Structure 1
Amino acid sequence: MPFVDVLSVKEHPKDVLLRIMPEECDLLCTHPMFGPESGKDGWADLTFMYDMVRIRDQSLCSSFLHIFSSEGCKMLEMTCEEHDRLAAQSQFLTHTIGRILSEMEVEPTPIDTKGFQKLVQVKESSVKDSFDLFSGLFIHNRFARQQMKNLEVALEKTKEKLQERSKELQDPIISKF
Structure 2
Amino acid sequence: MSQTPAIPISGDVPPEIAVAALPDDDRVWVPQADGVFFRPLLLNRITGQWCNLLKVTRSGIVSRHRHPSLVLGYVIKGKWKYDEHDWVADEGSFVYEPPGEIHCLRVPDDCAEMITFFNITGAMIYVDENGRQVGYEDTFTKIDLCRAHYAANGLGADYVDRFCR
Q: Do the structures match in fold with TM over 0.5?
A: no
Structure 2 length as normaliser, TM-score?
0.25
Larger Rg: 1
Higher relative contact order (CA 8 A, sep 6+): 2
Structure 1 length as normaliser, TM-score?
0.24
